[in-house]
Amino acid sequence: MSTTPASKRNISLTGDIQFTGLQLNDPMEVSAGMLGVKEALRHSVKEMGIVRSMRALLAMNQEEGFRCPSCAWPVPEKPSRIAEYCENGAKALADEATLETVDSNFFQKNSVEQLSRLSDYELNKLGRLTVPLVLRPGKVHYEPISWEDAYAVIAKELKSLDYPDEAIFYTSGRSSNEAAFLYGMFARALGTNNMPDCSNMCHESSGVALSQTLGIGKGSVTVDDLYGAEVVLIVGQNPGTNHPRMLAALEKCKKNGGKIISINPLAETGLVKFKNPQKVGAMLGSGTAIADIHLQLKINEDIALAKLLLKELVARDGETGSVFDHNFIQSKVAGYQALLTDLEQYDATELMERTGVGKEKITQTVELLASKSNIIICWAMGITQHKNAVATIQEYVNILLLKGAIGKPFAGTCPVRGHSNVQGDRSVGIMHYVSKELNQRITDHLGFDPPTVAGYDTVGAIKAMHEGKAKVFICLGGNFVMAASDTAYTAKAIQNCRLTVQVSTKLNRSHLVTGETALLLPTFGRSEKDMKQGQLQFLTMESSTGKVRRSKGLLQPVSEHIKSEPEIIGMLAHTYFEGKHSMPWKALAFDYVAIRKLIDKTIKGFKDTDQRSKGFGYYLPNNARAGDFSKLPNGRAKLTVNPLPGHELKEDELLLMTIRSHDQFNTTIYGLHDRYRGIYNERRVIFLNANDMEQRGIQKFEVLDLVSNYEGKERRAEHFLAIPYDIPEGNAAAYFPETNFLVPIDEFADKSRTPISKSIKITLEKR
Ligand SMILES: Nc1nc2c(c(=O)[nH]1)N[C@H]1C(S)=C(S)[C@@H](COP(=O)(O)OP(=O)(O)OC[C@H]3O[C@@H](n4cnc5c(=O)[nH]c(N)nc54)[C@H](O)[C@@H]3O)O[C@H]1N2
Ligand SMILES: Nc1nc2c(c(=O)[nH]1)N[C@H]1C(S)=C(S)[C@@H](COP(=O)(O)OP(=O)(O)OC[C@H]3O[C@@H](n4cnc5c(=O)[nH]c(N)nc54)[C@H](O)[C@@H]3O)O[C@H]1N2
Ligand SMILES: [Mo]
């Protein structure tokens, strides 16, 4: 049969680019508060109606309810009875539980080519997917397909591959432990470890840095630790927008006398001041100031900053001998002398100049770090998405180790995870690398031999598809084409595939940029009732602090034709294996208790999950939290020596960070405002330092193209409005995913291979 290659479909990767009517205000000083509550309710009622909104909001994050589909910040032991959710959690819920839907008639009327002219914001607004759909070779309209036929199409394509490694299984971090476990085991049963996941673009650098130094790829602190910490560093993170409930924990920390230091090129509003929406009294006052010190460093100068802080601390310890925890260092830490020797080669003044931070603030920070020992360092994408991300995180870990601030209450590491179950997905086996221990357990308990060679991560998967080495691409959630780097290259890679499959809740651009054949399989959102054999089911998730908890939906599903993720994966595996496999796939598709039993047997640390996930759940074991480094070489945690990165910016180049606005969840655009930063009604903006604008003769609101040039290859993101903003000279910021076109596929972090989304060298071109 002759077919039209997918790349021949005329699909736009941006939608029609148009400005939406920018209005500018001063950045806000206070986050959350009444306006946050109002916004939460406005989005909820608009999308879900009053009754559905109230039912859902009251159940979110409560003991018997469902976990918020937004970020992975844990629910405290004693959640607020009024509202254990934030404005952005409410927006995420409204977005998922919306009553807007698209059915097969809609796709009959609208081709993928036409739909691709819409913006990401407009695509998402169309609503929930309600029926399984297929895009056949050469066609531009999705058509309905039965679930059985959809499974059969996938099974047939998988069977026709020359090698299992021609299939790739992507996971976005919203799946449950149960779904992710089945999915990861299906990939392995098929014979591949090709399991890229959103972590590869997110906290992979944290996982690598922490595994090497502390023996566990996860953070060590609990929320209670934050309450009692004396000093908390918030590095490269914008919690006011991306983890708003974390501000309540920071507020509590401050009430207990703790000090907060923000390390960020921007003065993010949430860290300036916060009005706790969970407390009626707090809403009336002027808000709690969160950050005591803001170190406004230049993009990607964290290593210089950390080395400077370390140098100053070493000097003070030399005078008093009491700045570092020498007992801890002697008994538990390796690499002390090497670190001291390395630091000698740096000049403090030069380091300080590189950071762009003034002396007074450095001294204040050093004084706090020197005099206190209960220190927590929190971080997110501001340090994980650079070439030297792993080294950066390890430099911050050095500070904690010298202070003995690991393995005791109120101290430790806190990489703040993004997607609500990204950590759980990894725990239960979504990873592209091989764990011998897990493989042995799979053989012992699941009765098959998993593959023993590593698979593709995100960058590897894109390249493999581009080169025609992979032909079937299956996605459990997410919006791969927009989330990954080098949008045009990635799109071409995906369009090279024979079959692409998306298990999704809502429409996005990855449903339009597809393989020759594409399947769109609609699934439940977190808030929806999942009934199996007449019984309401629950699923489990793991929070950023390693706690496993239940999540039970309560809303009527948006359509009777959608299916749960575990059911889809179980039935797909059953169709593929035709009932001939050591795992009872069909039974598992409908029996989550049985899945949890298999997780308990196969995944280390999970135990009696069916029962222990009740209430507020249970913590998985964490060696760093316990101060146990026995699995590391010589049984010691490791201090690391890292080079100071060299930046070779050409004279006209700026370093661009791609960040989130207040009205988006990754590639899902809820609205066009970024209220805290004073931006209304526009996403195509670039934040620039006024001096950089003046030097280049750029006026406010002037239209610019952003151009990156790596290895002689030019990449462009067009039509951005210039905005003067309080950002260090030489730096710029713009929103992702519009700017992912600029990130070259081959530019990623050493060791973790996370794309360098926060330090892209660009020039500006006037239009
Ligand atoms: N509402 C909402 N919540 C979310 C998300 C969302 O999109 N919307 N996304 C979720 C996901 S998946 C994730 S991973 C998290 C992301 O949460 P964040 O990491 O907070 O998200 P970003 O917007 O990428 O913000 C990065 C921050 O790092 C700073 N930064 C950039 N470069 C540097 C640097 O070189 N050094 C330092 N010190 N700082 C730097 C930026 O100024 C910015 O404040 O949030 C999760 N929660
Ligand atoms: N330039 C740049 N690029 C980045 C980043 C950056 O900071 N800058 N951040 C990176 C980070 S941290 C991450 S985590 C990735 C995110 O990458 P992804 O996780 O791939 O992207 P999302 O936008 O979170 O995916 C949204 C889609 O998921 C689907 N979905 C939502 N809920 C569910 C569900 O419950 N089940 C299923 N099956 N589908 C669901 C919906 O269809 C929705 O359109 O992007 C990365 N890309
Ligand atoms: Mo993320």
Q: What is the pLDDT of residues 441-483, one digit of tens each?
A: 999 999 999 999 999 999 999 999 999 999 999 999 999 999 9
Strands (E), 112-244: 128-129, 133-135, 143-144, 167-171, 231-235
**Rounded distance between C-alpha atoms, residue 595 and residue 231, angstroms:** 41
Please, where are the H alpha helices in 333-483? 336-344, 348-355, 359-371, 381-384, 389-402, 422-427, 436-446, 458-466, 480-483
Distance from residue 200's CA to the centre of ligand 3 (Å): 9
Residue whose Cα lies nearest atom 7 of ligand 2: it is 659
Query: Model confidence at 1, in pLDDT bands (50, 70, 90)?
Result: very low
Type of residue numbered 279: K
For the chain, the structural domain boundaries read 6-15+99-202+421-619, 204-415, 654-766
**For 548-595, how does the pLDDT look when each residue is reduced to its tens digit (9 = 90+)?**
999 999 999 999 999 999 999 999 999 999 999 999 999 999 999 999
Residue list, ligand 2 pocket, CB within 6 Å: 172, 174, 198, 201-202, 381, 385, 418-419, 476-480, 483, 503-506, 508, 523, 525-526, 565, 658, 666-668, 736, 739-740, 743, 757
Nearest residue (by CA) to ligand 1, atom 19, is 381
- pLDDT by residue (tens digit) across 150-159? 999 999 999 9
Beta carbons of 516 and 534 less than 8 angstroms apart: no
Place of tokens 């959350």: 32
The pTM of the whole model exceeds 0.85: yes
Over the stretch 342-376, which tens digit does the pLDDT of each residue have?
A: 999 999 999 999 999 999 999 999 999 999 999 99
Q: Whose CA is nearest to atom 30 of ligand 1?
A: 382
Give the confidence band of 280 by pLDDT, cuts at 50, 70, 90: low
Q: Whose CA is nearest to atom 39 of ligand 1?
A: 236
Other CB atoms within a 10 A radius of the CB of residue 642 amount to 20
Kindly identify the ligand whose nearest atom is closest to the C-alpha of 475. 2
Query: Any idea which architecture 204-415 has in CATH?
Result: 3-Layer(aba) Sandwich (3.40)
Residue with token string 């709690």: 288
Selected from 3.30.1360.70, 3.20.20.120, 1.10.8.10, 2.40.40.20, the CATH number assigned to the domain covering 654-766 reads 2.40.40.20
Whose C-alpha lies nearest to ligand 1, atom 33? 382
In the structure, what pLDDT confidence band is assigned to residue 143 with cuts at 50, 70 and 90?
very high
What is the position in ligand 1's atom list of the atom closest to the CA of 668? 7
Q: Is 383's C-beta closer than 6 angstroms to any atom of ligand 1?
A: yes
What's the CA gap between 655 and 283, in Å, rounded?
Answer: 38
What mean pLDDT value characterizes the chain?
95
Q: Rounded CA gap, 352 and 341, in Å?
A: 19
Bridging pattern class, strands 259-263 and 293-295: parallel
Asked whether the predicted pLDDT for residue 285 surpasses 80, the reply is: no
Residues 239-264 as b or e (16 or more Cβ within 10 Å = b): bbbbbbbbbbbbbbbbeeebbbbbbb
What are the DSSP calls for 579-627, one per residue?
A: T-SSS-HHHHHH-HHHHHHHHHHHSTT--SHHHHTSTT-EEPP-TTTTT
Name the DSSP class of 698: P
pLDDT over 70, % of the chain: 98
Evaluate: CB of 268 within 6 angstroms of ligand 1: yes
Amino acid 2: pLDDT: 38
Q: Residue 271 C-alpha to ligand 3 middle, in angstroms?
A: 20
The residue-averaged pLDDT of 151-174 equals 98
For residue 735, CA distances in Å to 33, 207, 267, 624, 740 come to 25, 25, 16, 35, 9
The answer to whether the CB of 410 falls within 8 A of the CB of 446 is no
Supply the CATH classification number for the domain 6-15+99-202+421-619.
3.40.50.740
> 665: Cβ below 6 Å to ligand 1?
yes
**Which ranges of 15-146 would DSSP assign to H, the alpha helix?**
33-59, 87-96, 104-109, 112-115, 120-125
Residue 53's pLDDT is what? 84
Q: What is the pLDDT of residues 115-137, one digit of tens each?
A: 999 999 999 999 999 999 999 99
Strand order in the sheet with 273-275: 31-32, 273-275, 288-289
| Å from CA of 172 to ligand 2 middle | 6
User: Residue 273 has what pLDDT?
Assistant: 76
Q: Whose CA is nearest to atom 11 of ligand 2?
A: 202
Encode pLDDT of 199-245 as tens digits: 999 999 999 999 999 999 999 999 999 999 999 999 999 999 999 99
From ligand 3's centre to the CA of 767, what distance in Å?
Answer: 33
CB-based neighbours (< 5 A) of ligand 3, an ion: 202, 418
Q: Which ligand is nearest to the CA of 667?
A: 2
Which amino acid, 355? T
**β 637-638/333-334 pair status:** parallel
Tell me: the pLDDT tens digits for 678-718?
A: 999 999 999 999 999 999 999 999 999 999 999 999 999 99
- In three-state secondary structure terms, 453 is coil
Distance, first Cα to last Cα, the chain: 46
Q: Which residue CA neighbors atom 27 of ligand 2 most closely?
A: 478
User: Which ligand sits nearest to residue 71's alpha carbon?
Assistant: 1
Is 706:656 a contact under the CB 8 Å cutoff? yes
How many A from CA of 116 to the centre of ligand 1? 27
pLDDT at 511: 98
Atom of ligand 2 nearest to the CA of 475: 38
Question: What's the CA-to-centroid distance between 206 and ligand 1, angstroms?
Answer: 14
Q: What is the pLDDT of residue 29?
A: 84
With a CB cutoff of 8 Å and minimum separation 6, the contacts of 247 are 31, 32, 239, 240, 270, 274, 276, 290
> Is any ligand 1 atom within 6 A of the Cβ of residue 668?
no
Instruction: Give the number of the ligand closest to the Cα of residue 237.
Output: 1
Residue 643: phi, psi to the nearest 5? Answer: -70, 155
Band of residue 54 on the pLDDT scale cut at 50, 70, 90: confident
Pocket test for ligand 2, best of 238, 500, 504 (most atoms within 8 A of CB): 504
Q: Are 154 and 499 in contact (CB under 8 A)?
A: yes
Q: What is the spatial distance between Cα 526 and Cα 90, in angstroms, rounded to a whole number?
A: 13
- Which helix H or strand E contains 269, and what residues bound it? helix 269-272
3 pLDDT band (50/70/90 cuts)? Answer: very low
Report CA(205)–ligand 2 centroid distance (Å): 18
Structure tokens at 434: 């091989």
> For residue 748, how far is its CA from the centre of ligand 2 (angstroms)?
18
How far is the centre of ligand 2, averaged over its atoms, from the C-alpha of 530 (Å)?
A: 23
* Cβ pair 443, 406 in contact under 8 A: no
> Which of 517, 519, 520, 495 shows the shortest CA–CA distance to 139?
517
Find the 417 Cα to ligand 2 centroid distance in Å.
13
Q: How far away, in angstroms, is 448 Cα from ligand 1 center?
A: 40
Q: Residue 6: is its pLDDT beyond 90? A: no
Lowest-confidence range among 24-33, 324-333, 411-420, 466-475? 24-33
Which tens digit of pLDDT belongs to each residue from 606-624?
999 999 999 889 999 999 9
* Euclidean distance between CA atoms 273 and 259, whole angstroms: 14
Confidence of residue 172 (pLDDT cuts 50, 70, 90): very high
Which is the closest atom of ligand 2 to the Cα of 198? Answer: 14
Q: Which atom of ligand 1 is nearest to the CA of 92?
A: 1
> Which ligand lies nearest to the CA atom of residue 183 in the structure?
2
- Residue owning the nearest CA to atom 26 of ligand 2: 478
Name the more confident of 36 and 633. Answer: 633
Residue nearest to atom 2 of ligand 1 (CA): 242
Nearest protein Cα to ligand 1, atom 4 = 242
Q: How far is the CA of 455 from the centre of ligand 1 (A)?
A: 28
Find the 417 Cα to ligand 3 centroid distance in Å: 7
Q: Which among 95, 174, 758 is the best mutation to test ligand 2's pocket, defined by most ligand atoms within 8 Å of the CB?
A: 174
Confidence of residue 95 (pLDDT cuts 50, 70, 90): very high
* Contact of 164 with 188, CB cutoff 8 Å: no
Ligand 1 site, residue 640, Cβ cutoff 6 A: no
Report whether residue 419 contacts ligand 1, using a CB cutoff of 6 Å: yes
Mutate which of 511, 555, 666, 741 for ligand 2 pocket (most atoms within 8 A of beta carbon): 666
Residue 435 has pLDDT above 70, yes or no: yes
Closest CA to 746 of 712, 705, 706: 712
Q: How confident is the model over 487-546, as pLDDT tens digits?
A: 999 999 999 999 999 999 999 999 999 999 999 999 999 999 999 989 999 999 999 999
- In the reported structure, the alpha carbon of residue 89 is separated from the centroid of ligand 3 by a whole-number distance in angstroms of 15
More confident residue, 54 or 647: 54
Mind listing the pLDDT tens digit for each residue in 55-79? 888 888 888 889 999 999 998 877 7
